[in-house]
């Protein structure tokens, strides 16, 4: 089994079908090279100053998290229309609003060995039949090849039972894709970084999106505090968690006791009602915050 690799003009419906079927899908050359180069340049300082290592991260891999704090251009990838289309289809049937789980620049240096295969949703100790808790989105900030450590994906592994034993993961395939392409995979799909046997780094930006009623992997409102977050548009602020999940008595993440949302809900009252929720109320602090100046 392999991963489908589509051109950028493929219909989102076909991309989503392939993701549902195979647990992962590649869409080639979605982002312009100039944007990808700008994002890579904005991540550079943080990647270069990374000084940790672990069995999971690797010994020759650099990482940087919370990228919206220092990479404004990454917002164009994080809230890319195709990404939102895919996240809407996979996550939105199961939550009122989804959120960023994490945003991470990952640079695999020459000489790095294979990362262990894993599932990103393993922090959540539950499996709910028929739906995913999160998705992963890996942007290729350079060409991803089998030599330089393209992400390894086990097609179909989102259907593996979560048995006590490790499943057979030997059928992984490398997500080879040119710079500017994007790999989508389910939170339940087994995957991991590849070994870099080339002479150049392999750089990517991996973002996860999770159901809004789960605790996100990263505390995004601390990583990207209000003074920075307010520079982004409403969609990005919502993804960062500057909003509530649900409405009225079904609300999660509220602040000071009522509806604190810093951003307007896009979910219409009709949709909320269809989900069994009742419409929310507005808050004057929302406008005050939106108009305040960064400190
Ligand atoms: O770098 C990669 O290709 C994948 C990294 C990854 O899956 C992770 O660290 O969770």
The residue whose CA has the least distance to atom 7 of ligand 1 is 192
Q: Cα(267) to centroid of ligand 1, in Å?
A: 32
Residues 130, 22, single domain; the answer is: yes
Instruction: Tell me how crowded residue 65 is: count the other CB atoms within 10 A of its CB.
Output: 16
Q: Which of 209, 188, 185, 229 is nearest to 97 (CA)?
A: 209
Residues 32, 155, single domain; the answer is: yes
Residues 103, 187, single domain; the answer is: yes
pLDDT of residue 281: 33
**CA pair distance 64, 44, nearest whole angstrom:** 9
pLDDT of residue 225: 92
Where is the domain boundary, 211, 229, 254? 211
For position 33, which CATH number holds? Answer: 2.60.120.620
In a domain, residue 229? The reply is no
- Number of compact structural domains in the chain: 2
Residues 63, 126, single domain; the answer is: yes
Pocket-testing residue among 106, 107, 149, 173, ligand 1, by greatest number of atoms within 8 A of Cβ = 106
The 3-class secondary structure across the chain, one letter per residue, is: CCCEEECCCCCHHHHHHHHHHHCEEEECCCCCHHHHHHHHHHHHHHHHCCCCCECCCECCEEEEECHHHCCCCHHHHHCCHHHHHHHHHHHHHHCCCEEEEEEEEEEECCCCCCCCCECCCCCCCCCCCCCCCEEEEEEECCCECCCCCCCEECCCHHHCCCCCCCCCCCCCEECCECCCCEEEEECCCCEECCCCCCCCCEEEEEEEEEECCCCCCCCHHHHCCHHHHCCCCHHHHHHHCCCCECCHHHCECCECCECCCCCCCCCCHHHHHHCCCCCCCCCHHHHHHHHCCCC
CA 149 to ligand 1: nearest atom: 3
In a domain, residue 125? The reply is yes
In a domain, residue 102? The reply is yes
Where is the domain boundary, 162, 194, 211? 211
Domain range for residue 178? Answer: 4-211
Q: Is 191 in the pocket of ligand 1 (CB under 6 A)?
A: yes
pLDDT of residue 130: 83
Residues 175, 86, single domain; the answer is: yes
In a domain, residue 220? The reply is no
In a domain, residue 201? The reply is yes
Pocket-testing residue among 26, 122, 191, ligand 1, by greatest number of atoms within 8 A of Cβ = 191
The residue whose CA has the least distance to atom 6 of ligand 1 is 192
Where is the domain boundary, 171, 192, 211? 211
Residues 251, 202, single domain; the answer is: no
Residues 90, 146, single domain; the answer is: yes
Instruction: Tell me how crowded residue 2 is: count the other CB atoms within 10 A of its CB.
Output: 11
Q: pLDDT in tens for each of the 295 residues of the chain?
A: 789 999 999 999 999 999 999 999 999 999 999 999 999 999 999 999 999 999 999 999 999 999 999 999 999 999 999 999 999 999 999 999 999 999 999 999 999 999 999 999 999 988 888 899 999 999 999 999 999 999 999 999 998 887 656 788 999 999 999 999 999 999 999 999 999 999 999 999 999 999 999 999 999 999 999 889 989 998 999 999 988 888 777 888 887 665 445 654 444 455 555 555 433 333 333 444 344 444 3
In a domain, residue 235? The reply is no
pLDDT of residue 164: 54
pLDDT of residue 234: 86
CA 151 to ligand 1: nearest atom: 3
Q: Is 193 in the pocket of ligand 1 (CB under 6 A)?
A: yes
Residues 285, 182, single domain; the answer is: no
Residues 254, 120, single domain; the answer is: no
Q: Is 85 exposed, middle or buried (0-12, 13-18, 19+ CB in 10 A)?
A: middle
Q: Cα(122) to centroid of ligand 1, in Å?
A: 14
Contact 275, 212 (CB under 8 A): no
pLDDT of residue 270: 57
Contact 33, 180 (CB under 8 A): yes
Residues 37, 155, single domain; the answer is: yes
Pocket-testing residue among 202, 206, 208, 217, ligand 1, by greatest number of atoms within 8 A of Cβ = 206
Residues 190, 65, single domain; the answer is: yes
pLDDT of residue 210: 98
Residue 274 makes CB contacts below 8 A (sequence gap 6+) with none
């Amino acid at each position: 089994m392999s991963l489908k690799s589509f051109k950028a003009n493929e219909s989102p419906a076909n991309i989503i079908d392939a993701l549902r079927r195979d647990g992962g899908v590649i869409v080639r050359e979605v982002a312009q090279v100039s944007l990808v180069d700008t994002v890579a340049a904005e991540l550079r300082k943080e990647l270069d100053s990374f000084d940790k290592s672990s069995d999971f991260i690797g010994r020759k891999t650099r990482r940087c998290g919370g990228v919206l704090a220092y990479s404004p251009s990454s917002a164009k990838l994080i809230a890319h229309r195709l990404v939102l289309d895919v996240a809407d289809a996979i996550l939105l049937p199961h939550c009122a609003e989804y959120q960023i789980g994490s945003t991470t620049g990952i640079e695999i240096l020459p000489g790095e060995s294979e990362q262990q295969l894993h599932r990103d949703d393993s922090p959540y100790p539950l499996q709910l039949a028929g739906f995913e808790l999160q998705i992963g989105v890996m942007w290729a900030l350079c060409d991803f090849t089998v030599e330089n450590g393209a992400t390894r994906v086990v097609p179909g592994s989102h259907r593996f039972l979560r048995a006590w034993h490790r499943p057979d993961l030997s059928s992984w395939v490398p997500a080879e894709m040119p710079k500017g392409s994007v790999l989508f995979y389910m939170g339940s799909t087994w995957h991991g970084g590849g070994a870099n046997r080339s002479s150049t780094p392999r750089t990517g930006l991996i973002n996860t999106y999770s159901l809004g009623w789960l605790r996100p992997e990263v505390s995004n409102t601390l990583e990207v505090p209000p003074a920075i977050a307010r520079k982004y548009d409403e969609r990005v602020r919502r993804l960062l968690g500057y909003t509530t999940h649900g409405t009225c008595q079904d609300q999660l993440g509220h602040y000071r006791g009522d509806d604190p949302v810093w951003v307007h809900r896009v979910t219409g009252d009709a949709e909320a009602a269809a989900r069994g929720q009742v419409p929310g109320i507005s808050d004057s602090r929302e406008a005050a915050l939106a108009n305040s100046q960064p400190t």
